[in-house]
Amino acid sequence: MNLLTELVAFVVAIGVLVVVHEYGHYSVARLCGVKVLRFSIGFGRPLVQWVNKKSGTEWTISALPLGGYVKMLDERESPDKIPTDDLPRAFNRQSVGKRIAIVAAGPVANFILAIVLFAAVYGSGVTEPSAIVAAPPAQTAAAQAGFQGGETIVSVSNASGSDTERVRSWADLRWKLMSAAFDQHRVVLAARDGGGTYDFPLDLSRLSSKDLDDDFMSKLGLEAGGSKLTIAGVEADSAAQQAGLAKGDRLVAIDGHPVDSASTFIAYVKAHAGKPVHLKIVRDASAQNVAQGAAPGQAGQPQTMTLAVTPAAQRDAETGEDVGRIGAALAAQAPTVDVRYGPIESVQLGALRTWDIALYSLRMFGRMVTGEASLKNLSGPVTIADYAGKSARLGPSAFLSFLALVSISLGVLNLLPIPVLDGGHLLYYAVEAVTGKAVSDRWQLVLQRAGLACIVALSAIALFNDLARLIHF
């Protein structure tokens, strides 16, 4: 069933993005008076096709759905002589400005789609984890900033305090810090707790480009907190079972440190292989009934107790080091916030988020070209299908956000100055606009081959990364 969901979500996602991209080219071409011969969704053998009698455009759905194209009347690509009446409608007869507008319309349509999708998500409202900070590990940037755990971050500003942005959720905080990490070394986080609102200067200079590829929030010592952690299950003959842990136990503290983050708890257990740790738990009546050797307690009354657990040492497949494991599954009930905006603010935020993500994508691609960022960031159709399925199962808001992200990626990719892509054609027309002469057919052929080689190389790397993620090598 999961595979079917992924396939359907992937086909829907690719179909929507391709239609929007190609319709951008098509609509502007028609506005510029260019005759469009074919609008195709997919490549290869046509499965369905029909002709619009008014415009003469052939609409086609083809066998291979990974893309699409708009074929316009062009003297350079027509094997037969074009009728004299149609010559003014040929693409190659248009001014440089019109050709630039037609080619740029595809990526622009993708950006407009992303703005609309983000605006729909923001306007309809989305439930996200609250921006509550868990107790940070010692010596991390968050700990040095003064965070104790339990504070709710309300805004982010630059070091001088001249540019302040409101923080509405944990996802919002993560994105704002990622954007800030590219340009500056220090930000100020305003956070409130029971005593008021305070400023926490956070040093981002420790982050490298590689950290931004990974979970940079953990590197800063920032983990989402405020969660209520319970034991969802206990493995037979595990350290957890031997210590007396039972399903339904609520974790309160570990070695005296409050527990409100699953990742922080797991990291602490991993770091204490073979060393006893003391868990403070709250056990309700139902958990008392299933716990082995548990005191019966008074029916319906929760019982607080401390259990000593010695995590068993287990070899980590990635690092090759021994890590602690207690053999218990966790369930986290995180505090959430409903984020909802008005119509105008939704569109403004959609446009801002689209701009930020597009700019971040360009920066990341530039870092990959210069070797500052890993090529593992490239993803292909397998990863896209996987995330399409996961986001579809999470609900409409998640799927629309996923569509917006991929639409932005598609727009940015097509604007790269690589021949065979829209950006390559825009580069030709820019040269023509400056010099007054079109790039020669010979040079276009040479650059076309080089561009095709780049696309093949990028596709091969993306496919390799997909397979690496799939089989974990």
- How many Å apart are CA 243 and CA 37, to the nearest integer? 73
- How many Å apart are CA 440 and CA 253, to the nearest integer? 72
Phi, psi of 65 (to 5 degrees): -85, 10
Residue in 136, 137, 138 with CA at minimum distance from that of residue 149: 136
Question: Which residues are catalytically annotated?
Answer: 22
Rounded CA Rg of the chain: 28
Phi, psi of 189 (to 5 degrees): -100, 125
Number of neighbours of residue 470 by Cβ within 10 angstroms: 11
Q: Which residues pair with 330 in a beta bridge?
A: 231
With both helix axes pointing from N to C terminus, report the angle between 381-394 and 2-31 in degrees, rounded to the nearest 10: 110
Q: Residue 277 corresponds to which amino acid?
A: V
Q: What is the DSSP string of 364-390?
A: HHHHHHHTSS-GGG---HHHHHHHHHH
Phi, psi of 195 (to 5 degrees): -100, -10
